[in-house]
Structure 1
C-alpha cells in the first residue's frame, strides 16, 4: 500500500510533496479535490485525527474572500464540512494518510522521509 496524498494539483506545496516522493522513489496515490469532491466521511476522519483548526486553511485567498457568516460556519465540524466540500481549496494541503493510518497536514519533509 502507498501513501494517499489529498489536495489540489496546482498548489506549490503539493508540487513540493510530489517532488519529494518522486525523488525518494516512493509510490503514492494522489486524490485531487477538484476531480473527486471530498465526502463527509473523509472530512470527518481528517477532522477527528488532525482537528478542525488544522484542516481548515485560514491563510488562503479562498478563506479571505468568504463572507463573515460563512467564516463562522468553519468554527464547528457540523457546519464546516459542507463549506469544505463546496470550497475544497480551503482544506489544508496536502493531507497525507500514511500506511499506518496516521495523518499529516501540510508539507513536513522530515516526517515524510520518516514515513516513506
Structure 2
C-alpha cells in the first residue's frame, strides 16, 4: 500500500502500531474489512485550471468506429478529445487521440 495511505490507517487507529507479522487473524480480518469498505470523500476540486480529463463531447455512437466519420454528415470526422471518450491518466488519452487520428486520416 502507498506510504501515505498506511500512515492514514495508522493515524486513524485502523491498524495497530506493530509489524504486519505481529497482527492476529482477527486484526487482519478487521483491516481487510476496513480497507475494502473504505469510502473516498473528496473535499473539493481545483477546477478546470488543473483538470486532466473532462467528460463529454461528440457521442461515439454517432461516429463510424472504423473511420471516425460522422454517420449523419459524410466527410465530417471527429477525433481525440473532442469525442466522448475518457481514459485513465498515463498516456491513454494521448494514445487514443493518435490512434483515432491515424484511422481517420486513412479515410479523409
Q: Same fold (TM over 0.5)?
A: no
More strand by share: 1
More helix by share: 1
Larger relative CO (CA 8 A, sep 6+): 1 or 2? 1
Per the normalisation by structure 2, the TM-score is: 0.21
Q: Which protein is bigger by CA-based radius of gyration?
A: 2
